[in-house]
Each structure stands twice: as C-alpha cells, then as structure tokens.
Amino acid sequence: MSSSPVLLWFRQDLRLSDNPAVAAAAQSGAPILALFILEEGSEDHRPLGSASRWWLHGSLDSLARDIANRGGRLLLRRGNPSRILPELLAHSGARSVLANQRFGAPGSADATLFESLRADGIAVRLFNGTLLHHPDALSTKGGTPFKVFTPFWKALSATLTGDLAPAAPLSAPERLEAPAPLPEGDTLEDWDLLPVHPDWAGGLRGHWTPGEGGARERLEAFLKGPVIRYGEGRDLPGQALTSRLSPHLRFGEISPNQVLTACRRVQRPGAAAFLREVGWRDFCHHLLHRNPDMADRPLRSEYTRFPWAEKEDAATALAAWTRGRTGYPIVDAGLRELWQTGWMHNRVRMIAASFLIKDLLVPWQEGERWFWDTLVDACPANNAAGWQWVAGCGADAAPFFRIFNPVTQSQKFDPKGLYLRRWLPELAALPDHALHAPWTASPLELTSAKVRLGETYPQPIVDHGQARVRALAALKSLSSSAV
C-alpha cells in the first residue's frame, strides 16, 4: 500500500456503495483520509435547516460506523473548506483529492477551490455520484439547457437504455484503511446538530432511520408493495403509497442509479411513474446548476415585480400557515405533518404552497425558507424548483392562474378524510362531508363532534373565492409578458 494517502471528501454522498469517489479511493491502494466538513464561513454555502441538521447527525453516525467496520475512520471538521482542505493536505502529505460533484452555489465554490488546489500541484478527481446524468452533458437539439420537463425526460430516458445505460451499481469496498496517524477532528456531539431545548425531534426519530442501511430498507419496502399502486396512489395522502426516499436521496445515502436498477429489476406496475419522479429530481438539479440563486430569484424575471400582500398582513398570514391554523383542513394537516415528522406528502405540498402564495399572497420565498428549515428532505434543487413551479415563475411551471381550491382538492384526494383525521384529531368526529370544510357543518354536527369554530379549530383566515379573485387581479397587474 502506498504511504501517501488520498483525501476522500464526502459531501452530498453519504454512502459507500455505488459511490464512484469511494470506489476510486479504494482502488488507489493508498490509505484513505475520509473527510466530512460541516461547512461554515462561506457565502456560497446555505446553512442547513433544523430538520436537515438532525438528519445529518444520524447519517454521519451511520457512515462513520460503516467506514470503521472496514478499517477506516471518518474525520470530521467544521469551517470553510478553502481553509481546511489545504491544511489537511499539508498535514497528511496527501497529493490527491477525490469527491463527487455538487451543483448550484456550492458547486461554484468547489470550482474555485479545486482550481486553486490544482495550481498547487494537487490532483483533483471529480465524479458524478449524485444524478443520473451530468447537467453539462444533456441539452436540447439546439445545444441549450432544457427548460421543459417532458422533452428533458425523453432525452434523459434515452441515456438510460442500451449502450448508453449506466453501469451496474458499484459494491461497497471491503476495506478503507485510514492513514496513521490520523489528523485530529471533531466529534458529532461537538457540532450540536440535535435539538436539545426543547427536543422537538421525537416525531422524526419515530418515522425515519437516517443512513445507507435505512435507505436500502426503505427502497426494498417500497418495491415489495406500494410501488404497484404508485401511478394512481401517489396523490392520495391518506395512504402510504409513496417511496419516502427523498431524504435518503437528498443526503446521498442511496444513488439514483441504485433506485433505477432496483426498479427495473422488479418490473412492478408503477415503477415507470416512479422513475419519472426520479427524473424530475435530475431536472431540478439541471436548473440549479445554471441558476444557483434559484431559492431567492424567480426564473421568470417579470415575477420580481409581483404585488404581494403588505408586509404586516403577510407576516400574520405566514404565522398562521406555519402553525397549521389557516382554517382549511388539508392545508393545516399538511403543516402539522411537516412539523411532527419533517416531511409532507407531495400532493399536499402543492396544495399548501398554492394556498400560501395565491390565497394569502405571501412571497413564495417565505414558504421555501420554512420548508428548508423543517423538511428532512430539504434539497436545494427540488425545494426551490417546487416552490417556483407552484408560483408560476419557474421552469415548466404551472401557470399562476392555476389556483388550487383547498376544499375540492381535499375532497378529491382524501375523500374519506384518512389524512385529515390523522393530523387534525380535533376534527376527527365530523362526518366526511363536513370534514373538508368545517364551516359548512350544521350546528348539530359541530356540537356532536365537539368542534367549536374559532376555539378548538380556527375559522378560515380568508374566503377562498375572494382570495382567488384577488390573486388573479395581482397577476393581471403584471405586464402582459408575465401572463
């Protein structure tokens, strides 16, 4: 074994299997200085939200144990990579860095750092361990980036079959020997990633198992049953028919290639529809690659002039929305699910986002920031692209005038109220026909269900019909190019 180590930098790829950077490090025959940096002090890096910090703790703990079982050790450091990497390279004698690429603002910062390292004679090898296809390698026939998903998915799908198909997923190396002595590092406890006062993460612990093993178990469970009904069932929040793989993909505990391979192996009904959603994830990262500020600036520039509600009114509305106290059950149930589990069903995400943006006229960036803090799957690409999609200002977005009616959406996708009763127990005794709109219940029905509107459950904070008219008027005030 070579005495000079290689530096293996983990970022959004917290796994050992099907990780090309890990495989290259193991194949080098050199000791492996495995590193994770809790990035701070860089304007290009967005601090993780509270739920993501909780997940990161569990994911790193799992990764560290997996590396230790193979004879290695995961070094933890905190700070700016532009300072930490040169310091570790000098200290360890390593002359090469291996990593999987990132996209968006972190990717831009990486490019500057890696250029500097190369100028100092450090060999830098980068891999695609995050997406099905690198953003720079997929474009329209005219050579421009895709802005519409359907042709993007058609082009991406063509690269996933025949001679262009990805190679079989890589196995995890049997050994990952660490150099001796290993530089000193932090402990996970040093980072205070877990909530303490108060410890609000009980619901997260009850619903999730961060780490590569948890990702593998989640995929296997999905492919054994729920995937069969995924095509029609993914819109039904009251039934467990989605994969819930999103946080595992976000932290790179499983690769999209592993998901693709597993889905094709089982050939179950619903797998094709599910893989299309994996393709949407790639699409969002392609957008982020070229628009690093996507969480703040609309892709359609005319929407920077959108006339939102006055700041005081927007703040009051946002507070009610975040607490799940809007008076619209499907919206409130979604926000309660989010707060208690760190996750929200995708159909409900769209309904809740539409309500915040269009019924309440709160800027979409406020909702994006709340999701960023509370979602365990707060992906910089998917989260921002999803909010821009609902707001009508993103790529291939739903037009702004498509305003979800929270009552009819609830009746259509949760007709028996399974989802509503789970997250809004104060309304559980209402009959189905009144559950979706409690203000339509008769006095007898309210009394029998022990519901007191305005006390045990809020009255609607807006009238949807009036709010819809107001939203369309706001849209009309933009220039005709925004319509």
pLDDT at 483 over 60: no
**Residues of the chain with pLDDT > 90: what percent?**
90
> Residue 414 domain-assigned?
yes
Q: How confident is the model at residue 2 (pLDDT cuts 50, 70, 90)?
A: low
Same domain, 33 and 92: yes
The last residue of a domain, from among 290, 320, 341: 290
Same domain, 341 and 448: yes
How far is residue 105's CA from residue 294's CA, in Å, rounded to a whole number?
A: 10
The per-residue pLDDT of the chain, averaged, comes to: 95
Question: Which pTM was predicted?
Answer: 0.96
| Closest to 332 in 3D by CA, of 346, 351, 315 | 351
How far is residue 446's CA from residue 249's CA, in Å, rounded to a whole number?
A: 44
Residue found under tokens 């690659």: 289
Same domain, 122 and 139: no
The last residue of a domain, from among 112, 129, 146: 129
Q: Provide the CATH number for the domain around residue 255.
A: 1.25.40.80
Q: Where do runs of H (alpha helix) occur along 211-345?
A: 212-224, 230-233, 246-250, 256-266, 271-290, 311-322, 329-341
Catalytic residue numbers?
A: 277, 280, 308, 346, 364, 387
Task: Report yes or no: 110 and 124 within 8 Å, Cβ to Cβ.
Answer: no
Same domain, 314 and 208: no
**Residues of the chain with pLDDT > 70: what percent?**
99
The last residue of a domain, from among 290, 323, 346: 290
Same domain, 135 and 125: no
> Residue 143 domain-assigned?
yes
pLDDT at 69 over 70: yes
Beta strands (DSSP E) in 80-204 are 96-100, 123-127
Same domain, 281 and 363: no
Q: Provide the CATH number for the domain around residue 420.
A: 1.10.579.10
Same domain, 277 and 345: no
Q: Provide the CATH number for the domain around residue 55.
A: 3.40.50.620
Q: How confident is the model at residue 3 (pLDDT cuts 50, 70, 90)?
A: confident
> Residue 216 domain-assigned?
yes
Same domain, 111 and 138: no
Q: How confident is the model at residue 128 (pLDDT cuts 50, 70, 90)?
A: very high
Full residue range of the structural domain in which residue 58 is found: 6-129
Neighbours of 183 (CB within 10 A): 13
Instruction: Quote the number of domains for the chain.
Output: 3
| Predicted confidence (pLDDT) per residue in 359-394, tens digit | 999 999 999 999 999 999 999 999 999 999 999 999
Burial (CB count within 10 angstroms: exposed 0-12, middle 13-18, buried 19+), residue 316: middle
